[in-house]
């Protein structure tokens, strides 16, 4: 059998705080955000966004969208990075012009 040394008494303020914490029931609040959110602008599939707030200052946004995986490694699968100096939207005609210069 193992003999442990006796515990020193806990500070009464800390002991009281721990005792009261057992009775606290953390609560989450859910609020649907207004707006027309979509998963992409081609299919226009609607996405519900929910704000969650809770115990100890928790803040989060919940949403669910499909994930499209690129398994073939095609370098043209995603749009080119946006330039910091040129923030205009790129489209297929831009790609065509760059390839044929």
CA distance 72 to 62: 30
Residue 1 lies in a domain: no
Structure tokens at 99: 């390839």
pLDDT in tens, 22-77: 877 788 999 999 988 888 777 888 889 999 998 878 899 999 987 766 666 666 65
Residue 72 lies in a domain: no
Q: How much is the pLDDT for 72?
A: 65
pLDDT band at residue 96 under the 50/70/90 scheme = very low
CA distance 53 to 60: 7
Does residue 8 surpass a pLDDT of 80? yes
CB 37 within 8 A of CB 46: yes
**Three-class DSSP category at 55:** helix
Residue 9 lies in a domain: no
CB 38 within 8 A of CB 45: yes
The residues, any chain, with a CB within 8 Å of residue 46's CB and separated by 6 or more, are 36, 37, 38, 39
Residue 46 lies in a domain: yes
Structure tokens at 4: 């442990």
Residue 43 lies in a domain: yes
Does residue 85 surpass a pLDDT of 80? no
0.75 surpassed by pTM: no
Domain count, the chain: 1
The domain of 34 spans 26-57
């Amino acid at each position: 059998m193992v003999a442990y040394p006796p515990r020193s008494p806990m500070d009464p303020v800390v002991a009281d705080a721990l005792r009261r914490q057992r009775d606290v029931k953390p609560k989450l609040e859910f609020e649907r955000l207004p707006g027309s959110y979509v998963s992409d602008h081609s299919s226009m599939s609607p996405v519900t966004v929910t704000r969650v707030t809770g115990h100890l200052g928790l803040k989060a946004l919940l949403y669910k969208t499909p994930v499209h995986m690129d398994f073939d490694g095609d370098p043209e699968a995603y749009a080119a990075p946006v330039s910091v100096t040129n923030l205009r939207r790129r489209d297929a005609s831009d790609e065509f012009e760059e390839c044929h210069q």
